[in-house]
Amino acid sequence: MPVEDDRGAPPPFGDVGTGEPVVLVTGSGAGGSTWHLQVPALVAAGYRVLTPDHREHSAGGADDLVADLVRLIERVRLGPCRLVGTSLGAHVVQELLLARPDLARQAVLLATRGRADALRAAMVAAERELLASGVVLPPGYAAVQRALQFLSPATLNDDVRLTDWLDLFEAFPPARATELVDVAADRLDAYRAIRVPTLVIGFGDDLIAPPHLGREVAAAIPGARYVEIADCAHYGYLERPEAVNSALLDFFAPPSAGRTPPR
């Protein structure tokens, strides 16, 4: 995918810590602050952590978001850095690994996929139909539907945790500007050209990017590792942050640091 610099500034981003840079790329409908359970762990481990927002409007789809990430890395002069993306953010990172591999030292892809199977394609088509209809779902109903799609049974069956999530979903409905940037084409063959060391993390109960589609991405990228975290769904980095953080730090750490890389 060609990436052109239109001389615009990158979207806003958080920047905390010192040391080697790690850029965390969020999914659709979320800002960089969604990584609040990963940032402290990475900073404590000695990394500088950048958390960009996605642009509000993305007429060029994923191409625009890849270009934004390139601009951020180049304008802040990060050099080759570690990249972590979840969902839409993982897709953006995957495409950057093809377009500008010189900007990436390592990559971690959470809740990702390289193609749209029948169910995921139907889900996106249904969302597009809902948007086109102009129908606005009542906040409480929308919150429940979001919980059923994005959370694991472990969370859904915990009354206290679920109540907190429903309150959050109702108070902060997702922005929809980038929500429909989606994986439509099969990109798995293209990903065979990626040479950046990559870790793919799947979440056991994920309905949006199920583990078998994440394993396909890991199988396509030469030398990529795959780990699967149980009892969490598409928001696995928020449902089980300790497990996600441990996997990130294990992958990032050199062998001399005493950590065992995930298998």
- 26-30, 156-160, 214-218: range with lowest mean pLDDT: 26-30
Residues above pLDDT 70, as percent of the chain? 86
Reduce the DSSP state of residue 192 to 3 states and report it: coil
Domains of the chain: 13-116+183-257 (3.40.50.1820), 118-171 (no CATH)
- 54-68, 175-189, 223-237: range with lowest mean pLDDT: 175-189
> What's residue 128's pLDDT?
85
Evaluated on CA atoms 206, 239, 33, 146, the torsion sign reads positive
> What's residue 58's pLDDT?
53
d(CA 65, CA 45): 28
Q: Which residues are tagged catalytic? A: 87, 206, 234
The residue with greater pLDDT, 32 or 73, is 73
d(CA 22, CA 173): 28
Q: Are 159 and 85 in contact (CB under 8 A)?
A: no
> What's residue 24's pLDDT?
98
The residue with greater pLDDT, 41 or 7, is 41
Non-local CB neighbours of 111 within 8 Å, separated by 6+ positions: 27, 86, 87, 90, 201, 202, 203, 206, 208, 209, 214, 234, 236, 237
One-letter amino acid identity for 59? A
- 66-75, 168-177, 199-208, 245-254: range with lowest mean pLDDT: 168-177
Which pLDDT tens digit goes with each residue over 186-240?
Answer: 999 999 999 999 999 999 999 999 999 999 999 999 999 999 999 999 999 999 9
Give the predicted TM-score (pTM) of the model: 0.89
Which pLDDT tens digit goes with each residue over 88-125?
Answer: 999 999 999 999 999 999 999 999 999 989 998 888 88
State yes or no: pLDDT of 180 exceeds 70.
Answer: no
The residue with greater pLDDT, 183 or 188, is 188
